[in-house]
Amino acid sequence: MLVFFKERLVLFSVPKTGTTALQTALRDRAEIVIANPPELKHTPLYRYNQFFKPMFSEVSSVEMETMAVVREPIDWLGSWYRYRRRQYMKGRPNSTHEVSFDDFVLAYMKAPRPGFANVGSQERFLRPPTGSAPVTHLFKYDSLPLAIQYLEGRLSVKLTLERENLSPEMTLYLSPEIERKFRQHHARDFEIYNSAS
């Protein structure tokens, strides 16, 4: 998470949405950089509202705007699946080497999720608590140039991003029946994605 205090902007770090590259490019420009531990780097909206927002409003009398990037839900799961298939992961409990993408998505829909499919939720990350405002500026991962353009204008910077935390390249197949179940089971994820710029 990055805080640009002068510009009144907080940039969330939603996992698997390219925000690590944004954080690297902008860390020297931010007033507050939360890079570790991962639980704080990836602070979701509800936790921000619980801890950080009161600090800004009560201590500094400042109302911050928020920004995040959201990825198409099946593509987002595909990125996690491929990320957990890195050679380094082979033989580890969270590896997806022995699991098909269909089985990964089915496991993601279970409660509780098995370790290899326990990758969080964009919907939960971005869901505003009851009575709270949603993320102010929400951009689609596949429209990342639009998010970069927005940040360049808002922060008066020129950005060059390096690709980071890359998942191995591979073609994934999700059977139509499992895709239908996933879209039904996680309809809110698609609503949030479709609401983004």
**Residue 51 pLDDT > 80, yes or no?**
yes
Mean pLDDT of 166-189: 94
At residue 134, what is the residue type? P
Which residue type sits at 23? Q
Predicted local confidence at residue 62, as pLDDT: 83
Chain segment 67-100, per-residue pLDDT in tens:
999 999 999 999 999 999 999 999 999 999 999 9
CB-based contacts of 133, cutoff 8 Å, min separation 6: none
| CATH code of 112's domain | 3.40.50
Percent of the chain with pLDDT over 90: 84
Which tokens go with 127?
């869901």
Structure tokens at 36: 């570790």
User: 121 lies in which domain range?
Assistant: 2-195
The total of structural domains in the chain comes to 1
Report CA 118 to chain centroid distance, whole Å: 14
What pLDDT digit, counting tens, does each position of 94-124 carry? 999 999 999 999 999 999 999 999 999 999 9
Q: Please enumerate in sequence order all residues whose Cβ is within 8 A of that of 32, keeping only pairs 6 or more positions apart, or say none.
A: 1, 2, 3, 5
Q: What is the pTM of this model?
A: 0.93
- The verdict on whether omega for the bond into residue 37 sits within 30 degrees of 0, i.e. cis, is yes
- Beta strand 32-33 pairing with 137-140: unpaired
* Whether the Cβ atoms of residue 155 and residue 7 lie closer than 8 Å to each other: yes
pLDDT band at 131 (very low <50, low <70, confident <90, very high): confident
Q: What was the pLDDT predicted at 82?
A: 96
- Pairing of β 65-70 and β 9-11: parallel
61 backbone φψ class: left, alpha, beta (φ>0; ψ -120 to 50): left
Q: Is the dihedral of CA 92, 93, 95, 97 positive or negative?
A: positive
- Say if residues 12 and 157 touch (Cβ distance below 8 Å): no
